[in-house]
Amino acid sequence: MPHDDLSLSLRPPPPPAEPPLVAPPELQVMTRLVRLPTRSPRQARRVVGLQLDRLSPLPATDTAYDLVMIRQDGAETLYALGIVRKAHLSDAAYANRRHITLTRAVETNEVTFRFRNPHAVDDREVRWLKHAPKAAVIAMGIALITTAASQRASTWREQRMVEIAAVQRQAARAALDAELQASARADWTDLERTDAATRLLCVAQKVSTPGGAPVPLLGYAGEAKELVLRLPEGADTSSLLAAGGIEQGGPTAIVFGQEVCG
């Protein structure tokens, strides 16, 4: 069986060749060096804008320019000035380019100028409208988060106010209790002192006899439940013991308990 000399290929046919892209036209840039007494690019552009008719052979209204700082020379600053015709920027190749960047050699310096294209299509509104739905969703999400955070903060503030009020009431109650306890303690101390003084008078009446010798005392300590008399060495304690006193560690300390003149 004869075979064809034609080979069978399963590969898809190659796509048709795309038309070559049209390169943008080469822009003619007029360049020169200028010295200005300022290092501020904004102020330098303002000065050049006022003197552009003198610095350029073209009318200022027909040109676009850019200013690039080269170096500082003493009190002056060296700038590279680039100037192009606005009419050359109206080519369709530059329609979508709001700024056109060109690199040129200015004497011995390689300088990159950035010219603003006044003929470019301002697509900012179109791009804004394109992203507006996403921005609206993001703004709505931020608003919801802010509202939720505000409500949560309000709830937390209310809860904290209740807790703070409870703590303040507890602190006031504790202060009142402490004040009442201190007052009761002072009253009890006064009462103890009154009882001790009364018991001392009662013991003095018991041990005193008409015509008898007085009992010498070095001191006494009166408490709620007992009265302690301090006597010098060799003092006669018979009258104290007869009145119900009890020696405490020796004859120099006589104790009258609550049962005596209680």
Task: Give the pLDDT score at 212.
Answer: 62
Cα-flanking dihedrals φ and ψ of residue 49, to 5°?
-60, -35
257 versus 170: which is more confidently predicted?
A: 170
- Distance separating alpha carbons of residues 221 and 219, to the nearest angstrom: 7
* pLDDT band per the 50, 70, 90 thresholds, residue 192: low
1 versus 28: which is more confidently predicted?
A: 28
pLDDT higher than 90, residue 201: no
Model-level pTM? 0.40
* pLDDT band per the 50, 70, 90 thresholds, residue 209: low
Buried b (16+ CB within 10 A) or exposed e, 169-185: eeeeeeeeeeeeeeeee
- Distance separating alpha carbons of residues 27 and 157, to the nearest angstrom: 67
Encoded tokens for 98: 């709001």
- Among 29-43, 96-110, 210-224, which stretch is predicted with the lowest mean pLDDT? 210-224
Q: What's the chain's average pLDDT?
A: 79
Q: Strands of 226-230's sheet, edge to edge?
A: 219-222, 226-230, 253-257, 246-247
Q: Which amino acid is residue 108, in one-letter code?
A: T
Q: Which amino acid is residue 27, in one-letter code?
A: L
pLDDT higher than 50, residue 129: yes
Alpha helices in 16-101 (DSSP H): 41-50, 52-55
Buried b (16+ CB within 10 A) or exposed e, 191-215: eeeebbeebbeebeebbeeeeeeeb
Encoded tokens for 229: 């008399």
Note the pLDDT tens digit of each residue in 51-95: 988 988 889 889 999 999 999 988 899 999 999 998 888 888 787
DSSP 112: E
> Using an 8 Å Cβ cutoff, are 251 and 229 in contact?
no
10 Å CB burial of residue 217 (0-12, 13-18, 19+) is middle
Task: Give the pLDDT score at 7.
Answer: 47
Encoded tokens for 79: 């700038």
Please report, in angstroms and rounded to a whole number, the separation of the first and last CA atoms in the chain: 149
pLDDT higher than 60, residue 21: no
pLDDT higher than 50, residue 8: no
150 versus 192: which is more confidently predicted?
A: 150
Mean pLDDT of 13-29: 62
10 Å CB burial of residue 229 (0-12, 13-18, 19+) is buried
Task: Give the pLDDT score at 127.
Answer: 66
Encoded tokens for 6: 């034609």
Mean pLDDT of 84-111: 86
